[in-house]
Protein backbone atom coordinates (compact mmCIF):
# COMPACT_ATOMS: atom_id res chain seq x y z
CA UNK A 1 0.00 0.00 0.00
CA UNK A 2 1.29 3.45 -0.85
CA UNK A 3 2.09 5.78 2.06
CA UNK A 4 -0.01 8.87 2.69
CA UNK A 5 0.18 10.86 -0.51
CA UNK A 6 2.72 13.68 -0.57
CA UNK A 7 3.72 16.27 -3.14
CA UNK A 8 6.73 14.06 -3.87
CA UNK A 9 4.47 11.14 -4.88
CA UNK A 10 2.56 13.35 -7.31
CA UNK A 11 5.74 14.95 -8.65
CA UNK A 12 7.16 11.50 -9.38
CA UNK A 13 4.43 10.69 -11.90
CA UNK A 14 3.75 14.11 -13.44
CA UNK A 15 5.22 14.96 -16.84
CA UNK A 16 4.76 17.75 -19.35
CA UNK A 17 1.65 17.10 -21.50
CA UNK A 18 3.34 18.93 -24.39
CA UNK A 19 6.62 17.03 -24.67
CA UNK A 20 6.59 14.50 -21.77
CA UNK A 21 9.57 16.29 -20.25
CA UNK A 22 10.42 16.62 -16.56
CA UNK A 23 8.66 19.29 -14.57
CA UNK A 24 10.13 21.76 -12.08
CA UNK A 25 7.78 22.91 -9.32
CA UNK A 26 7.76 26.51 -8.10
CA UNK A 27 5.60 28.33 -5.56
CA UNK A 28 3.04 29.55 -8.12
CA UNK A 29 3.75 27.49 -11.23
CA UNK A 30 5.18 24.37 -12.79
CA UNK A 31 7.62 24.59 -15.71
CA UNK A 32 8.91 22.00 -18.15
CA UNK A 33 12.67 21.55 -18.08
CA UNK A 34 12.69 20.36 -21.70
CA UNK A 35 10.31 22.66 -23.64
CA UNK A 36 9.99 25.52 -21.10
CA UNK A 37 6.16 25.33 -21.05
CA UNK A 38 4.72 27.06 -17.99
CA UNK A 39 1.66 25.79 -16.10
CA UNK A 40 -0.07 27.64 -13.30
CA UNK A 41 -1.13 26.37 -9.90
CA UNK A 42 -4.66 26.70 -8.55
CA UNK A 43 -3.83 26.78 -4.88
CA UNK A 44 -1.61 23.68 -4.66
CA UNK A 45 -3.18 21.98 -7.71
CA UNK A 46 -1.16 21.99 -10.97
CA UNK A 47 -3.28 23.13 -13.92
CA UNK A 48 -2.50 21.76 -17.38
CA UNK A 49 -5.22 23.63 -19.29
CA UNK A 50 -4.99 26.63 -21.60
CA UNK A 51 -8.36 28.05 -20.57
CA UNK A 52 -9.05 29.57 -17.13
CA UNK A 53 -10.11 27.22 -14.36
CA UNK A 54 -13.84 27.27 -13.63
CA UNK A 55 -15.11 26.66 -10.11
CA UNK A 56 -17.83 24.02 -9.74
CA UNK A 57 -21.00 24.93 -7.83
CA UNK A 58 -20.95 24.08 -4.13
CA UNK A 59 -24.02 21.86 -4.49
CA UNK A 60 -22.45 19.69 -7.21
CA UNK A 61 -22.94 15.97 -6.56
CA UNK A 62 -21.25 13.04 -8.27
CA UNK A 63 -22.62 9.53 -8.71
CA UNK A 64 -21.06 6.76 -6.58
CA UNK A 65 -18.48 4.75 -8.53
CA UNK A 66 -19.76 1.38 -7.31
CA UNK A 67 -18.79 -1.01 -4.52
CA UNK A 68 -16.35 -3.01 -6.67
CA UNK A 69 -14.22 0.02 -7.43
CA UNK A 70 -14.52 1.55 -3.96
CA UNK A 71 -13.15 -1.75 -2.62
CA UNK A 72 -10.13 -1.50 -4.93
CA UNK A 73 -9.42 2.00 -3.65
CA UNK A 74 -10.01 1.06 -0.03
CA UNK A 75 -7.71 -1.98 -0.21
CA UNK A 76 -4.95 0.26 -1.54
CA UNK A 77 -3.01 -2.45 -3.37
CA UNK A 78 -2.92 -0.60 -6.72
CA UNK A 79 -1.90 2.90 -7.73
CA UNK A 80 -5.00 4.36 -9.43
CA UNK A 81 -5.61 7.32 -11.72
CA UNK A 82 -9.25 8.42 -11.38
CA UNK A 83 -10.19 10.59 -14.38
CA UNK A 84 -13.29 12.72 -13.82
CA UNK A 85 -13.43 11.88 -10.13
CA UNK A 86 -15.70 14.85 -9.35
CA UNK A 87 -16.89 15.05 -5.75
CA UNK A 88 -15.43 11.82 -4.43
CA UNK A 89 -16.63 10.41 -1.12
CA UNK A 90 -13.18 10.38 0.45
CA UNK A 91 -9.51 10.77 -0.34
CA UNK A 92 -7.47 7.62 -0.90
CA UNK A 93 -3.67 7.77 -0.62
CA UNK A 94 -3.27 5.32 -3.51
CA UNK A 95 -5.38 7.39 -5.96
CA UNK A 96 -4.62 10.46 -8.06
CA UNK A 97 -7.83 12.37 -8.83
CA UNK A 98 -7.75 14.11 -12.23
CA UNK A 99 -10.37 16.68 -13.26
CA UNK A 100 -11.06 19.75 -15.41
CA UNK A 101 -12.28 21.67 -12.35
CA UNK A 102 -11.13 21.75 -8.72
CA UNK A 103 -13.30 19.53 -6.56
CA UNK A 104 -12.83 18.50 -2.93
CA UNK A 105 -10.03 16.00 -3.51
CA UNK A 106 -8.74 16.99 -6.97
CA UNK A 107 -4.98 16.49 -7.33
CA UNK A 108 -4.41 17.54 -10.96
CA UNK A 109 -6.43 19.65 -13.41
CA UNK A 110 -6.01 18.92 -17.10
CA UNK A 111 -7.27 17.42 -20.33
CA UNK A 112 -7.90 13.67 -20.66
CA UNK A 113 -6.74 13.86 -24.30
CA UNK A 114 -3.23 14.84 -23.09
CA UNK A 115 -2.62 13.29 -19.70
CA UNK A 116 0.23 15.02 -17.83
CA UNK A 117 1.72 11.79 -16.48
CA UNK A 118 4.72 9.65 -17.23
CA UNK A 119 4.27 6.50 -19.29
CA UNK A 120 3.71 3.36 -17.26
CA UNK A 121 2.80 5.14 -14.03
CA UNK A 122 -0.48 3.51 -12.93
CA UNK A 123 -1.79 0.04 -12.12
CA UNK A 124 -5.37 1.06 -12.89
CA UNK A 125 -7.30 3.90 -14.48
CA UNK A 126 -10.94 4.69 -13.66
CA UNK A 127 -13.08 6.98 -15.86
CA UNK A 128 -16.76 6.90 -14.95
CA UNK A 129 -19.30 8.93 -16.96
CA UNK A 130 -16.46 10.73 -18.71
CA UNK A 131 -16.08 9.39 -22.24
CA UNK A 132 -19.38 10.76 -23.58
CA UNK A 133 -17.97 14.21 -22.77
CA UNK A 134 -14.68 13.78 -24.65
CA UNK A 135 -14.37 15.23 -28.16
CA UNK A 136 -11.83 12.54 -29.15
CA UNK A 137 -12.47 9.46 -27.01
CA UNK A 138 -10.12 7.19 -28.95
CA UNK A 139 -7.28 9.66 -28.33
CA UNK A 140 -8.08 9.65 -24.61
CA UNK A 141 -8.10 5.84 -24.63
CA UNK A 142 -4.63 5.90 -26.21
CA UNK A 143 -3.44 8.22 -23.44
CA UNK A 144 -4.79 5.83 -20.82
CA UNK A 145 -2.92 2.99 -22.51
CA UNK A 146 0.28 5.05 -22.37
CA UNK A 147 0.12 5.87 -18.65
CA UNK A 148 -0.77 2.33 -17.56
CA UNK A 149 1.89 -0.10 -16.43
CA UNK A 150 2.25 -3.31 -18.47
CA UNK A 151 -0.72 -5.48 -17.53
CA UNK A 152 -2.53 -2.49 -16.00
CA UNK A 153 -6.29 -2.20 -16.37
CA UNK A 154 -8.89 0.44 -17.18
CA UNK A 155 -12.54 0.55 -16.10
CA UNK A 156 -15.01 3.01 -17.61
CA UNK A 157 -18.72 3.69 -17.55
CA UNK A 158 -20.11 5.50 -20.58
CA UNK A 159 -23.64 6.49 -21.60
CA UNK A 160 -25.67 4.79 -24.32
CA UNK A 161 -29.37 5.66 -23.88
CA UNK A 162 -29.13 8.87 -21.91
CA UNK A 163 -30.50 12.35 -22.47
CA UNK A 164 -28.14 15.24 -23.14
CA UNK A 165 -26.36 16.36 -19.98
CA UNK A 166 -23.55 18.81 -19.24
CA UNK A 167 -24.16 20.60 -22.55
CA UNK A 168 -22.44 21.63 -24.73
CA UNK A 169 -19.80 19.03 -23.87
CA UNK A 170 -21.83 15.88 -24.44
CA UNK A 171 -20.55 14.43 -27.71
CA UNK A 172 -21.19 10.69 -27.79
CA UNK A 173 -23.58 8.02 -26.55
CA UNK A 174 -21.65 4.90 -27.48
CA UNK A 175 -22.89 1.40 -28.17
CA UNK A 176 -20.94 -1.62 -26.92
CA UNK A 177 -19.32 -1.72 -30.37
CA UNK A 178 -18.28 1.91 -30.05
CA UNK A 179 -16.61 1.24 -26.70
CA UNK A 180 -14.79 -1.76 -28.13
CA UNK A 181 -13.62 0.40 -31.03
CA UNK A 182 -12.30 3.11 -28.73
CA UNK A 183 -10.42 0.53 -26.65
CA UNK A 184 -9.35 -1.76 -29.51
CA UNK A 185 -5.69 -1.40 -28.49
CA UNK A 186 -6.52 -3.10 -25.17
CA UNK A 187 -7.33 -6.71 -24.41
CA UNK A 188 -11.01 -6.26 -23.48
CA UNK A 189 -11.90 -8.60 -20.61
CA UNK A 190 -15.59 -7.71 -20.52
CA UNK A 191 -17.97 -5.10 -21.90
CA UNK A 192 -21.31 -5.56 -20.21
CA UNK A 193 -24.33 -3.72 -18.81
CA UNK A 194 -23.65 -2.74 -15.20
CA UNK A 195 -26.49 -2.31 -12.72
CA UNK A 196 -26.46 1.48 -12.88
CA UNK A 197 -27.10 1.28 -16.65
CA UNK A 198 -29.54 -1.66 -16.64
CA UNK A 199 -32.83 -1.34 -18.60
CA UNK A 200 -34.91 -0.42 -15.55
CA UNK A 201 -32.55 2.41 -14.64
CA UNK A 202 -32.44 3.52 -18.29
CA UNK A 203 -36.23 3.72 -18.43
CA UNK A 204 -36.45 5.62 -15.14
CA UNK A 205 -33.75 8.06 -16.29
CA UNK A 206 -35.33 8.69 -19.69
CA UNK A 207 -38.85 9.13 -18.34
CA UNK A 208 -37.62 11.55 -15.69
CA UNK A 209 -35.74 13.46 -18.41
CA UNK A 210 -38.85 13.63 -20.61
CA UNK A 211 -41.04 14.99 -17.79
CA UNK A 212 -38.43 17.54 -16.67
CA UNK A 213 -37.75 18.67 -20.23
CA UNK A 214 -41.48 19.17 -20.87
CA UNK A 215 -41.62 21.42 -17.80
CA UNK A 216 -38.50 23.34 -18.79
CA UNK A 217 -39.81 23.65 -22.37
CA UNK A 218 -42.84 25.58 -21.18
CA UNK A 219 -45.56 22.92 -21.17
CA UNK A 220 -48.53 23.82 -18.98
CA UNK A 221 -48.82 21.94 -15.70
CA UNK A 222 -52.04 20.15 -16.71
CA UNK A 223 -50.36 18.97 -19.93
CA UNK A 224 -47.37 17.72 -17.97
CA UNK A 225 -49.75 15.78 -15.74
CA UNK A 226 -51.41 14.24 -18.82
CA UNK A 227 -47.99 13.11 -19.93
CA UNK A 228 -47.19 11.65 -16.51
CA UNK A 229 -50.42 9.67 -16.48
CA UNK A 230 -49.76 7.80 -19.73
CA UNK A 231 -48.61 4.18 -19.68
CA UNK A 232 -45.67 2.45 -21.29
CA UNK A 233 -48.13 0.27 -23.15
CA UNK A 234 -49.72 3.30 -24.83
CA UNK A 235 -46.37 4.44 -26.19
CA UNK A 236 -45.44 0.92 -27.29
CA UNK A 237 -48.77 0.58 -29.11
CA UNK A 238 -48.20 3.89 -30.90
CA UNK A 239 -44.85 2.70 -32.25
CA UNK A 240 -46.33 -0.66 -33.23
CA UNK A 241 -49.16 1.07 -35.09
CA UNK A 242 -51.83 -0.50 -32.91
CA UNK A 243 -52.76 2.53 -30.82
CA UNK A 244 -53.46 6.25 -30.88
CA UNK A 245 -51.27 9.13 -29.74
CA UNK A 246 -50.98 8.96 -25.93
CA UNK A 247 -51.76 12.02 -23.86
CA UNK A 248 -48.84 14.38 -24.13
CA UNK A 249 -47.60 13.21 -27.53
CA UNK A 250 -48.31 16.53 -29.26
CA UNK A 251 -46.86 18.38 -26.27
CA UNK A 252 -43.52 16.68 -26.79
CA UNK A 253 -43.67 17.09 -30.58
CA UNK A 254 -44.23 20.84 -30.24
CA UNK A 255 -41.55 21.62 -27.64
CA UNK A 256 -38.95 24.21 -28.71
CA UNK A 257 -35.97 22.75 -30.56
CA UNK A 258 -33.73 23.66 -27.62
CA UNK A 259 -35.83 21.36 -25.42
CA UNK A 260 -36.37 18.60 -27.99
CA UNK A 261 -32.62 18.36 -28.61
CA UNK A 262 -32.10 17.11 -25.03
CA UNK A 263 -34.32 14.04 -25.40
CA UNK A 264 -34.60 13.42 -29.16
CA UNK A 265 -33.91 10.06 -30.80
CA UNK A 266 -31.56 11.66 -33.32
CA UNK A 267 -30.75 14.69 -35.43
CA UNK A 268 -30.98 15.73 -39.04
CA UNK A 269 -27.93 17.66 -40.26
CA UNK A 270 -27.79 19.55 -43.56
CA UNK A 271 -24.44 21.12 -44.48
CA UNK A 272 -22.73 22.81 -47.38
CA UNK A 273 -19.20 22.54 -48.72
CA UNK A 274 -17.17 25.66 -48.01
Specify the pLDDT at position 227.
95
Low-confidence ranges of the chain (pLDDT < 70): 1-6
Specify the pLDDT at position 11.
87
Distance CA(158)–CA(160), nearest Å, equals 7
| Residue 14, strand partner residues | 117
Each residue of 189-205: pLDDT tens digit? 999 999 999 999 999 99
Supply the pTM of this predicted model.
0.93
Specify the pLDDT at position 1.
38
Specify the pLDDT at position 59.
86
Length of the chain: 274
| Residue 81, strand partner residues | 96, 125
- List strands edge to edge, sheet with 29-32: 23-25, 29-32, 38-42, 45-46
Three-class secondary structure assignment of the chain: CCCCCCHHHHHHHECCCCCCCCEEECCCEEEECCCCCEEEEECCEEECCCCCCCCCCCCCCCCCCCHHHHHHHHHCCCCEEEECCCCCCCCCCCEEEEECCCCCCCCEECCCCCCCECCCCEEEEEEECCHHHCCCHHHHHHHHHHHEEEEEEEEEECCCCCCCCCCCCCCCCCCHHHHHHHCCCCCCCCCCCCHHHCHHHHHHHHHHHHHHHHHHCCCCHHHHHHHHCCCHHHHHHHHHCCCCCCCCHHHHHCCCHHHHHHHCCCCCCCCCCC
Specify the pLDDT at position 207.
96
Specify the pLDDT at position 8.
78
Specify the pLDDT at position 2.
40
Specify the pLDDT at position 9.
84
Residue-range domains of the chain with CATH: 45-197 (3.40.50.150), 199-263 (no CATH)
Contacts of 147 (CB under 8 A, 6+ apart): 81, 115, 117, 118, 119, 120, 121, 122, 125
Each residue of 119-160: pLDDT tens digit? 999 999 999 999 999 999 999 999 999 999 999 999 999 999
Amino acid sequence: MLPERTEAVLAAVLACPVCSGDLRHHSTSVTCVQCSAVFKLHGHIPVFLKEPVTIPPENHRSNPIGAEFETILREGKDFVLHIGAGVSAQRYPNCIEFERRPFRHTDVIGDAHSLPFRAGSFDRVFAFNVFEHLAEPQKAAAEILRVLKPGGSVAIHSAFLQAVHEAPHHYFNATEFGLRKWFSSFEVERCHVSGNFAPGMMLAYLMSSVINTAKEGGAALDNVMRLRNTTLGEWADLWAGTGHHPGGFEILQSLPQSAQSKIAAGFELVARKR
